[in-house]
Amino acid sequence: MNQFYMPTKVYQETDAVKNHSEEMAGFGKKALIVTGGQSSKKNGALKDVTDGLDKQGTTYVIYDRVPENPGIACVMEAASLGKKEGTDFVIGVGGGSPMDAAKAISLMIRNRDSSEEVLYQNVSLQALPVVEVPTTCGTGSEVTPYAILTRDDLQTKSSIAHHIFPVLALVDGKYLEQAPLSVLTNTAIDALGHVLESYFHSKATDYSRMLCQYAMEVWGTAADVLFGMEAKEGDYDRLMFASSLAGMAISHTSTGIPHALSYYLTYHKGIPHGKAVGVFLPGYLAALPDSFEPQVIMALQALGFGSLEQFAGVIKELLGEVKLSNTEYQEMVDEMMKNDRKLKNTPFEVTKEDIYKITEICK
Ligand code: NAP
Ligand code: ZN
């Protein structure tokens, strides 16, 4: 079956926030801006948003305490501020952490008398409108319905039960210009993970593959920046664009085994999301049955790699190594084998041997 559903309105251009401030401000009288501690103040994204709201006469309150890999505590704190201030909509500004938090916060404000358990309950609930302004080129959260939170109770990370598509995404590559290479690399590799996991996915459709194929091409034309080369004109825009395309693809398929494994590395070893995903990508491609070989070659070529060996070498060069103790390694593999939902996302019957192959880099 081929199905396509992408309800988020996207503007991708230089000065997207400024140019579309009327639409951004049009979701109510008062906004809750949700952002991280520092970066959105330095890269200009927060000022663009507050200037835009000021211009339209829309009031706002700012919650700027979203940490990396946010948990439920930050969501509840921000929701409480939003409820107290009577905010009508939420604007997430930053990387995936504040953008995901914004979605969960919008749900908790709209359902003001509910407790945090509702985040993980399969009940049908509405959320306040969410606008997203991404400042990293990885998660695609500006166009996905997912909000991934850290679960200390389960010692991992997982998506909340509710699917909340942003109503509006304002995407501008200029916010990447001053980003440290580590942030660019980690997040661009996350987008690469979305593309490859979505392309080689049991739920892939012609539409999702089309998004992946174009994302691969776009990503490949801008990837030089990740190797410390000076950015060509449009490179930052292309990295952002590839990230949004990849987000649209995973909105249809979800992610696969590398993402499922990554949550162990992030939760237990503090490894940033993109790196935690990226280290498993060569192994994932290697574990695909031989019948996928033509598609693997096509994907690698579109991304600008000559072979799987070269791809594996580049990933190692960009991300370095991640080593686990024997006990940690076995725990990660065992957890993966119990994760039926993610195992089913793979377009072949996965065995424990396959998981050993995918995770060999951590031994
Ligand atoms: P992030 O956790 O949002 O941010 C990482 C770091 O980068 C933070 O220190 C942040 O600073 C900084 N930063 C952000 N933008 C910057 C910029 N333009 N220049 C310089 N520094 C900048 O990183 P992320 O990789 O974008 O998001 C990861 C989260 O998204 C994870 O929780 C992951 O599970 C989730 N995720 C969600 C989806 C989805 O579909 N919703 C998909 C994949 C991953 P500040 O803290 O100061 O802002
Ligand atoms: Zn990801």
pLDDT tens for 253-287 read: 999 999 999 999 999 999 999 999 999 999 999 99
pLDDT at 1 over 90: no
Q: Roughly how many angstroms between the first and final C-alpha of the chain, as a whole number?
A: 40
φ/ψ (deg, to 5) at 202: -65, -20
Cα of 223 vs centre of ligand 2, distance in Å, is 17
Residue 176: its pLDDT value, please? 98
Asked if residue 230 and residue 119 are part of one domain, the reply reads no
Is 38 touching ligand 1 by the criterion CB < 6 Å? yes
- Does 3 fall in a domain? no
Are 100 and 137 in the same domain?
A: yes
Contact between 82 and 100 under an 8 Å Cβ cutoff? The reply is no
Which CATH number do you get for residue 13?
Answer: 3.40.50.1970
Looking at the fold, whether 229 and 303 belong to one and the same domain comes out as: yes
Look at residue 2 and tell me if it is in a domain.
Answer: no
Contacts (Cβ under 8 Å, ≥6 apart) of 334: none
Residues 270 and 293 in one domain: yes
Residue 45 lies inside a defined structural domain of this protein = yes
Distance 242 CA to ligand 2 centre (A): 13
Nearest CA to ligand 1 atom 28: 96
Which of 174, 189, 212 is the last residue in one of the domains?
174
Give pLDDT, residue 172.
Answer: 98
- Average pLDDT over the chain reads 97
Which of 174, 200, 225 is the last residue before a domain boundary? 174
- What CA–CA distance (Å, rounded) separates 124 from 360? 41
The proportion of the chain whose per-residue pLDDT surpasses 90, expressed as a percent, equals: 99
127 shares a domain with 67:
yes
Tell me how far the alpha carbon of residue 10 lies from the centroid of ligand 2, in angstroms: 20
* Mean pLDDT value of segment 205-222: 98
Same domain, 195 and 336: yes
**CATH no. for residue 284?**
1.20.1090.10
Structural domain tally of the chain? 2
Do residue 274 and residue 219 come from a single domain? yes
β pairing state of 30-36 and 89-94: parallel
Evaluate whether 185 touches 219 at the Cβ level (below 8 Å).
no
Over residues 71-85, the mean pLDDT reads 98
CA distance 138 to 232: 19
Out of 128, 158, 174, a domain closes at 174
Co-location of 255 and 132 in the same domain: no
Range of the domain at 147: 9-174
Cα separation values, 159 from 119, 138, 139, 141, 145, Å = 9, 17, 13, 12, 10
Q: Is the CB of 64 under 6 A from ligand 1?
A: no
Same domain flag for 213 and 228: yes
Instruction: Please indicate, yes or no, whether residues 185 and 127 belong to a single structural domain of this protein.
Output: no
Strands (E), the chain: 9-12, 30-36, 59-66, 89-94, 130-134, 148-151, 156-159, 168-171
Q: How far is ligand 2, taken at its centre, from the CA of residue 240, in Å?
A: 14
How many Cα atoms sit within 13 Å of 235 on the Cβ side? 18
pLDDT higher than 90, residue 225: yes
Q: What pTM value is reported for the model? A: 0.98
Q: Does 18 fall in a domain?
A: yes
For residue 4, being part of any structural domain is answered with no
pLDDT in tens, 23-53: 999 999 999 999 999 999 999 999 999 999 9
Residue 246 near ligand 1, beta carbon < 6 Å? no
DSSP letter for each residue of 217-260:
HHHHHHGGGGGTPPPPTTHHHHHHHHHHHHHHHHHHH---HHHH
Q: Are the C-beta atoms of 191 and 242 separated by less than 8 Å?
A: yes
pLDDT at 77 over 90: yes
The stretch 309-332 carries a mean pLDDT of 97
> Does residue 69 come out as left (phi exceeding 0), alpha (psi in the -120 to 50 range) or beta?
left
Q: Which residues have CB under 8 Å from 310's CB, separation 6+?
A: 300
Question: Which ligand is nearest to the Cα of residue 69, counting in written order?
Answer: 1
Task: Please state the rounded mean pLDDT for residues 72-78.
Answer: 98
In a domain, 299, yes or no: yes
Whether residues 138 and 271 share a domain: the answer is no
Q: Yes or no: say if 188 and 274 are a contact pair by the CB < 8 Å rule.
A: yes
> Going by C-beta distance under 8 Å and a sequence separation of 6 or more, which residues neighbour residue 250?
140, 144, 146, 194, 197, 198
Count of all residues that appear for the chain in the document:
363
pLDDT classification of 224: cutoffs 50, 70, 90: very high
Residue 260 lies in a domain: yes
Four-residue CA torsion sign, 21, 24, 25, 30? negative
Shortest-distance atom of ligand 1 to CA 250: 40
Task: Looking at the structure, tell me whether residues 297 and 244 fall in a common domain.
Answer: yes
Is 1 part of a structural domain of the chain?
A: no
129-150, pLDDT tens digit by residue?
A: 999 999 999 999 999 999 999 9
